[in-house]
Amino acid sequence: MAYETILTETRGRVLLITLNRPKALNALNGQLTEELIAAVQQADADPEIGCIVITGSAKAFAAGADIKEMQSATYAEMYAGDRFSAWDRFAALRIPTIAAVAGYALGGGCELAMMCDIILAADDAVFGQPEIKLGVMPGIGGSQRLTRAIGKAKAMEMCLTGRTMDATEAERAGLVARVVPAEGLLDDALRTAETIAGMSKPIAMMTKEAVNRAYETTLTEGVRFERRVFHAMFATADQKEGMAAFVEKRPAKFQHR
């Protein structure tokens, strides 16, 4: 499928998606949202793809939802169209996703990064939920995911004042997995993605599901879920291969099933 607002490139078992509305700092308009979600859903279902990397430009990962597109919308239009609900499909992805963030990740851009499983930040990355300055608040999960990621104190301050966080603070706060020099960001993200894509895809999907369960449930239920899924992994060919490879002192060759 030909996309106009994103670039896609397959590198081995990794799908690299580059947000590509440079003149609007990759603002997430309706078209970009639909194209991005179509591309990631296709990869989710593709056994040949084991991980997705989403990146932007050197200046902006994404500067938010498209303000110009929504500025004159009415309540009825926002409600009837259930604006932003399409992103639930992104959050429901089972394939592992990495956000490689350089420059601005503001508003919906920060929210998109937080919907990814791992955020790798360039040392010049800037995170924020500045919607309050526009007379609104986060609308793609920011008030919830930021609070879960970095705790109430910082999330509340950021959402109420619109102040941004640099990469160092974001790492200290637990929002990002690692900070890397801007020039090495994409290579690092692709290497990390290759590592993940080299694992068994179903096992990686189940692992993602188990970690995410920690956000949704009690510890007792989460541990029970983990144990049941752990048992289920013994029905996969890749568990047999992974353990046989260890015993035979050779690298595992996963069949991703």
> Which residues are marked as active site?
65, 108, 111, 131
CA pair distance 116, 111, nearest whole angstrom: 9
Of 140, 146, 150, 170, the residue at the interface with ligand CAA (CB under 6 A) is: 140
Q: Which stretch binds ligand CAA (CB under 6 A): 57-65, 169-177, 185-193, 214-222?
A: 57-65
Binders of ligand CAA among 214-233, rule CB under 6 A?
Answer: none
Q: State the nearest-atom distance from the C-beta of 140 to ligand CAA, in Å.
A: 4
Binders of ligand CAA among 100-119, rule CB under 6 A?
Answer: 104, 106-108, 111
Going by C-alpha positions, the residue among 36, 195, 202 that lies closest to residue 116 is 36
Q: State the nearest-atom distance from the C-beta of 104 to ligand CAA, in Å.
A: 4
CA pair distance 64, 10, nearest whole angstrom: 26
Q: State the nearest-atom distance from the C-beta of 106 to ligand CAA, in Å.
A: 4
Residue type, 57: S
The total of other beta-carbon atoms located within 10 Å of residue 102's CB is 25
Q: By the criterion CB under 6 A, which residues form the site for ligand CAA?
A: 24-25, 27, 63-68, 84, 104, 106-108, 111, 130-131, 134, 138-140, 142
